[in-house]
Amino acid sequence: MKIIASIECRMTSTRLPGKVLMNALDNMSMLEVMIKRVKNSKLIDGIVLATTTNKDDDSIVELAKRLDVDFFRGSENDVLSRVVEAHKSVGTDIIVELTGDCPLIDPLLIDQCVEVFLDNKYDYVSNNYKRTFPDGSDVQVFSLKVLEEADNATLDPLDREHVSKYLYENKKYSIYTVEAKDEYYWPTLAVTLDEKEDYELIKDIFNYFDNIDFSTLDYIEYLKNNMYLVEINAHVSRKGLN
């Protein structure tokens, strides 16, 4: 079974244009750091960037080529079809769906969700269907076969925009949420890159550790010892699942 992580990414974000290529640390962009963190997963076999045909996203393609990761260019608005076609292009069996606004994604959490999926018979496994981990830790796992079913079953614009919405809202599929325990539990914390204030907080975290290999627990401990930092983006409103 070929397990591939897709990262949905584009330069034309409405709230923070160009965010995925903003600097994280040592001339590395947020997306480059995310790719390198995802590569530390022990269970995924590869990464495909699911970007768009817009010329603005040429820079994302150049990054993919430089880092030797696969990419696919598809519709900007029909993200569901873009992700399906991206995974078909690389022969995926099991999809690990990630989004480019999660540069602090933890490979340990990726592997945790993949293990639950592999060890059970759920159609959909995530750690964000019920929010217990910090926002920005989001991992969703399902088969390409199931996502193709969704792609063929719905024309709802919201389903087309939010890749897995049809799966977790359709009662025909069995879903499971991996919930945070102990120190991991911080559902109100947001380290997802949506607004300028999010960038300020995430950049501070990278600057503090001065490397890209720290864990979720590492940055949770840092922020709990410096709670004033959490106020930087506390007012930002968030969207739901992807």
240 is a domain residue: no
Which tokens sit at 140? 């969703």
Mean pLDDT of all residues in 206-234: 98
Which pLDDT score is estimated for 40? Answer: 98
Residue 148 has pLDDT above 70, yes or no: yes
Residue 175 has pLDDT above 70, yes or no: yes
239 is a domain residue: no
Which pLDDT score is estimated for 92? Answer: 98
Residue 57 has pLDDT above 80, yes or no: yes
Environment class of residue 81 by beta-carbon count within 10 Å: exposed (0-12), middle (13-18) or buried (19+)?
Answer: middle
152 is a domain residue: yes
Percent share of the chain, pLDDT over 70: 99
CA dihedral (161, 167, 171, 177) positive or negative: negative
Q: pTM for this structure?
A: 0.96
Percent share of the chain, pLDDT over 90: 97
Residue 133 lies in domain: 3-232
Among candidate residues 134, 121, 116, the one with its CA nearest the CA of residue 189? 134
Which pLDDT score is estimated for 104? Answer: 98
Of 14-18, 80-84, 107-111, 237-241, the poorest mean pLDDT is in 237-241
Residue 111 has pLDDT above 70, yes or no: yes
CB atoms within 10 A of CB 131: 19
Identity of residue 241:
L
Cα separation, 44 vs 39, whole angstroms: 8
Q: How confident is the model at residue 166 (pLDDT cuts 50, 70, 90)?
A: very high
162 is a domain residue: yes
Mean pLDDT of all residues in 103-116: 98
237 is a domain residue: no
Q: How confident is the model at residue 242 (pLDDT cuts 50, 70, 90)?
A: low
242 is a domain residue: no
CATH of the domain at 120: 3.90.550.10
The total number of structural domains that make up the chain:
1
Cα separation, 161 vs 159, whole angstroms: 5
198 is a domain residue: yes
Which tokens sit at 159? 């389903």
179 is a domain residue: yes
CB 5 within 8 A of CB 47: yes
